[in-house]
Amino acid sequence: MTSRGELPYSFDPLKDAHAYFLGLLATDGTIYESSRNRGRVSFELKASDAPVLRSLAEIVPYRSHFRYRCRDTNFARVYESAILTFHDLRFRRELSALGYVSGKKSQTTTVPRCEYDEIGFWRGVVDGDGSLGITGIDRPFVSLVTASQQLRDAYVEFVTRVAGTRPDPKRNARDRVFNIVVFDEPAQVLARRLYAEASIAIPRKAYAARVVQSWERPNNRKRVDFERRRWTPEEDRRVLESLPQALVAAELGRTVNSISIRRWRLRGADVEDTERLLSS
């Protein structure tokens, strides 16, 4: 980890709000570079989230420009957004020293190359590409979607330390992204750590975090404290064979329902991945 003294910061990643900036930049921000050292750091959020961009403009010690714009999208006929930009070359050089590069970053984004406030940083990441709330079957959750293996691994380690549960997400077959979800009491712990004493956050995400924290487990729903049994490659190969589900369940010591669900999930995976599993 790089020490603070080796980098020419004009803002401080060890502060909650500045680390939040870096987390939101890793998800919802973009760095552009062009000829003759021209370029910009840009954020674009829905218009209702404009207050957090105005706060960022006050936090970062560089001149910024704020504006609104309206356009048609695939999801809305008239979509109004808020845009915050920084054009200072010195700022882009500082961000480059921290590992933030220009252009597309979805596959490569990771944590800063320096000491940073992890609570602020991960709150910025969740504000950008995460969601919080209560599911339709009354389960609180905190989720994060990312295409970056590095960000996935770092977030899993953070969640494990903070919430006491270790997610183990794989890339999904359709989008090749990780959907990292934490439910129930661990989700409450995570939401509390990220948002309870936040110096800055998107208001609707902060409200959702309070909803998650206020959830109470129903009396008729027992808490499961044991470690979930993982599926092994050998078990997956057996599940995919054309055998009666009851036979496979008895052989593997699992329920018929679990065999049915696992078979459905495996057959819905990428064809090449399934063929590789069967041939290995």
Report helix, strand or coil for 256: helix
DSSP-derived secondary structure letter, 171? B
First to last CA, the chain: 39
Residue 228: the pLDDT is 64
Q: Which residue has the higher pLDDT, 279 or 97?
A: 97
- Res 71: pLDDT: 80
Question: What is the rounded average pLDDT for all residues in the chain?
Answer: 86
Is the CB of residue 86 less than 8 Å from the CB of residue 62? yes
Number of domains observed in the structure of the chain: 3
219 falls within a domain: no
Q: Classify residue 253: in a domain, yes or no.
A: yes
Q: Quick: pLDDT tens for 162-181.
A: 999 998 888 888 889 999 99
Quick one: 10 and 100 in the same domain? yes
Q: Does the residue 166 lie in any domain?
A: yes
Establish if 227 belongs to a structural domain: no
Polymer length in residues for the chain: 280
Can you give the pLDDT at residue 280? Answer: 46
Residue-range definition of the domain harbouring residue 249: 233-279
Query: Mean pLDDT lowest for which of 79-83, 147-151, 225-229, 272-276?
Result: 272-276
User: 83 and 52, same structural domain?
Assistant: yes
CATH at 162: 3.10.28.10
Q: Is 85 in the same domain as 132?
A: no
Query: Is residue 9 predicted with pLDDT exceeding 70?
Result: no
97-137 per-position pLDDT tens digit: 888 888 777 777 889 988 999 999 999 999 999 999 999 98
Query: pTM for the full model?
Result: 0.76
